[in-house]
Amino acid sequence: MSFTYEYPRAALTVDIMLFAKESDALSILLIQRKYPPFEGMWALPGGFLDMDETLEHAAKRELEEETGISGVSLEQFYVFDAIDRDPRHRTVSVVFAGFPDSPMKIKSGDDASEAKWLNLQQLPILAFDHSEIIKKAVEKFFSGNY
């Protein structure tokens, strides 16, 4: 299939939030970016939609490629479309959320140099608009408390 457009188009991405209880704390799965932009910074797992896949398939593929996690149930959470959310070009992200019973075993891969479960109350500065994404999810799923 070939596509040719006279006008520029936005890129479509997916980002994935996995939340899990660990003792009394709530953790989220993050990856450390291997490449620019934001090389070395922590971010949600995610990436670009391929032309031959659905959004849900892209989310599951990216999650497995970057963290080794598969088989977790994901639900669409929200669409983030701020014009300047990615310094490379215009991107729109469909964010998915999952809630495993406990932190799952992870193995970083693809463009993630590391993957780790981090306590929501001790997050570093995150890449892109991922702090905003997590804040909005916490307000919805956990009534702003974590």
Residues with a known catalytic role: 114
- Give 17-29 as a 3 state SS string: EEEEEECCEEEEE
Name, in order, each residue with C-beta under 8 angstroms of 97's C-beta and a sequence gap of 6 or more. Answer: 16, 17, 18, 19, 74, 75, 77, 137, 141
- Name 2's Cβ contacts closer than 8 Å, sequence gap at least 6: none
Q: Which two tokens stand for residue 64?
A: 């497995």
* Residues sharing a CB contact under 8 Å with residue 46, sequence separation 6 or more, in sequence order: 13, 14, 15, 16, 59, 62, 66, 93
In residues, how long is the chain?
A: 146
